Structure 1
Amino acid sequence: MPAPQFDPAAPLQFVVNAAAGSNAAASKREIIESVLQAQGRRGELAFCTPADLARVARVSAQKALSTRTAVVAVGGDGTLNTVAQAAHAAGCAMGVVPQGTFNYFARTHGIPADPAQAVRLLLHSVPAPVQVAGINDRLFLVNASLGLYPDLLEDREAYKARFGRSRWVAFVAACTTLLRAQRQWRLRIETGGTVRDVHTLTLFVGNNRLQLQQLGAEPEDTIAGTPGDGSMAALVLRPIGTLSMIGLMLHGAMGRLGEAAGVERFEFDHLVVRPTLPQGRRGVKVAFDGEVTTMRAPLDFRVLAKPLYLLGPQRSTATAEAVSRAEDAGA
């Protein structure tokens, strides 16, 4: 698929997940506009609440396409996912000004966490294709899952609302969720011409090699490409006892999840999951890129043939910076 037309002089279309008039919106506007002014560039800022984000993203993506520019997501993982969905559907380029906790997508592609630096990078970038994945009719950038992991995300958001945003808060929330894990899922998994039934606490699908590396959960290369660049990875957590769960948490904290008992990992480019559900129930709770929703089964995970065109540094530079940040984070 050819890259979208891109005019570096055209005003970038910023989608900012913050209510207009709020302190957060004012701060973001000041940062973005000061960088644009210093660089002699123009941009249009659309502020919105989370409830209006999808509509604003679609409108901004269509405008970006018609004016040969990019739609830029300003926010956390959920904002990036929603804007990416709109950009991918419209066929326009996308930029990122990350503001989340982990920022795996941005870090993988060499995009700075500092918002002013991220905006400056946008002004000197051209669109390049990056892999995105799909689950049923939804796109995701980093990961998608069912079972225990969506519960973990809901608990994490509750802890953040009470104690603030930090990696330690996220870690404590994860420990709480894991230690009270009860429900087992029976899944029929179809991939690569094979069908098998598994019992699991969670199925985690990763489209981001950096995240898998930090967890110590990269699968062995069994098909062409690597997670995020030709393939995806699946992690299946078998039902385990409390002591084993504590060991699992320690392995995860040390970036050695792949060594933990009860964790199976494999690589794929297309995966169909058919969960056994109670009579009359068709929906299953699914998490993707930090958001939780209900989807109808079966769940179809796949590497999308159509890439997302992302504004960022050259691929070699992005890879080097991602590796550097990963090493810094582990220091």
Structure 2
Amino acid sequence: MASPLPVLINHAGGTAAALGESLRETVEQAFAAAGQEIELELVDGAGMAEAVARHRGKPRVVVGGGDGTLGCAATVLANTPTALAILPLGTRNHLARQLEIPLELDAAVAVAVGGQRRRIDLGAAGERVFVNNASFGIYTRFVRQRDQQNGPKWLNSIPATWHVLRHMRAQQFTLDLDGEPRTVATPLLFVGNNQYSIDPGRLGEREAMDDGQLSIFAVAAQGPHKLVAFALRALVGLARPERDFAECASAAEVVIDGQGWIEGAFDGELEWMALPLRLRSLPSALGVVTPRETTQPERNLFKIHGSRTH
């Protein structure tokens, strides 16, 4: 008899929090409709790593939450044969969208139960793993301001944006991209897991999740009004590397040089990191469960790569 499928949900974030007391019943009903017996745990963000670790080594673990929660789970499951199945219960759900996992709960449950397993890359900053991106500079101040306020994130984003624009300043970064030194002055340094597109209609999308590369974008230093204009151009796919970025490149490894500490936002979660900080691609480090019709054949799931996160 098959063991129950472990389902771990961060009850404090995004859609999960909005369901309130009905969260457990709603999830149990969705899996029952899919014919799957589960072992359900509702945990807070601080307890997610420990909860995932208890199930490491099983064929798959279902994790419900946003990108920060999934990044936490990925840290535990990196370079193991355990596949991560995703219930997109966060605010933006970038990874779920990228993997074409449905945002509706019943459809996401069907994928978690019967989907195809594949492996994708992860990014790492020191020992901190990220599934989408790491940002330094103005975005970290935006996240801090947004999260200091009560209310939904989308509403808090409005005054937070105004605050960071009023106090915006460029920061100098000394970088090393695959052994090539760079010095850039930028209000925002963005390092993405895999290559991000800035093309019209494809802003923020990735062509592949297994190209073994990091995207590096350093926004050109400019005043608040020009930065707003850049953001609007980027949203409609009109950003241009020669005009809008001080650096636009890809590399397998990026080192932010210096002494002391730097604050970064990793999949939207803030953390202080010691300098120099090494960011690198972890090729095929994570098994994930995705819809069968959009995935590659099941290969390399049990190939554990030599790169380690710690």
TM-score by length of 1: 0.77
In the alignment, the residues of structure 2 paired with residue 239 and residue 115 of structure 1 have an alpha-carbon distance, to the nearest angstrom, of 42
Give the structure 2 partner of residue 52 of structure 1.
47
Instruction: Answer yes or no: is 1:190 the counterpart of 2:141.
Output: no
Instruction: Answer yes or no: is 1:239 the counterpart of 2:221.
Output: yes
Instruction: Answer yes or no: is 1:117 the counterpart of 2:107.
Output: yes
Q: 248-257 or 136-145: which moved more?
A: 248-257
Correspondence 1:40-189 to 2 at 5 A = 40-59=35-54, 61-62=55-56, 65=57, 68-88=58-78, 90-158=80-148, 161-162=150-151, 164-166=152-154, 170=157, 172-173=158-159, 175-189=161-175
Whether the 8 Å contact between 1:283 and 1:297 is mirrored in structure 2 is: yes
Whether the 8 Å contact between 1:77 and 1:290 is mirrored in structure 2 is: yes
Whether the 8 Å contact between 1:145 and 1:204 is mirrored in structure 2 is: yes
Whether the 8 Å contact between 1:231 and 1:267 is mirrored in structure 2 is: yes
The DSSP-based 3-state class of the residue aligned with 1:247 is helix
In the alignment, the residues of structure 1 paired with residue 51 and residue 274 of structure 2 have an alpha-carbon distance, to the nearest angstrom, of 26
Change (3 A) 1:244 1:38: closer
Give the structure 2 partner of residue 222 of structure 1.
none
- Residue 290 of structure 1 and its aligned partner are, at CA, apart by 1.0
Per-residue CA deviation, residues 110-133 of structure 1 (Å, 9 max, x unaligned), is 111111210111111232111111
Change (3 A) 1:288 1:306: same
In the alignment, the residues of structure 1 paired with residue 226 and residue 173 of structure 2 have an alpha-carbon distance, to the nearest angstrom, of 22
Structure 1 gaps of 5+ residues are 1-6, 220-224, 319-331
The DSSP-based 3-state class of the residue aligned with 2:76 is helix
The DSSP-based 3-state class of the residue aligned with 2:213 is strand
Change (3 A) 1:255 1:174: farther
Give the structure 1 partner of residue 189 of structure 2.
203
Which one of 259, 263, 271 corresponds to residue 293 of structure 1?
271
Give the structure 2 partner of residue 29 of structure 1.
24
Change (3 A) 1:315 1:212: farther
State percent identity of aligned pairs.
27
In the alignment, the residues of structure 1 paired with residue 163 and residue 202 of structure 2 have an alpha-carbon distance, to the nearest angstrom, of 17
Give the 4+ runs in structure 1 shifted more than 4 A.
208-215, 225-228
- Residue 143 of structure 1 and its aligned partner are, at CA, apart by 0.6
Instruction: Answer yes or no: is 1:15 the counterpart of 2:8.
Output: yes
Change (3 A) 1:255 1:181: farther
Give the structure 2 partner of residue 255 of structure 1.
237
Figure out how many residues of one structure are paired with residues of the other and give that number.
290
In the alignment, the residues of structure 2 paired with residue 47 and residue 93 of structure 1 have an alpha-carbon distance, to the nearest angstrom, of 20
Letter in 2 for 1:274: D
Per-residue CA deviation, residues 70-116 of structure 1 (Å, 9 max, x unaligned), is 11111111111111111226541111001223212111111111112
Structure 2 gaps of 5+ residues are 297-310
Per-residue CA deviation, residues 28-73 of structure 1 (Å, 9 max, x unaligned), is 32222112222322111111122322222222x33xx1xx331111
Whether the 8 Å contact between 2:264 and 2:272 is mirrored in structure 1 is: yes
- Residue 179 of structure 1 and its aligned partner are, at CA, apart by 1.8
In the alignment, the residues of structure 1 paired with residue 242 and residue 91 of structure 2 have an alpha-carbon distance, to the nearest angstrom, of 25
TM-score by length of 2: 0.82
Letter in 2 for 1:250: L
Letter in 2 for 1:267: S
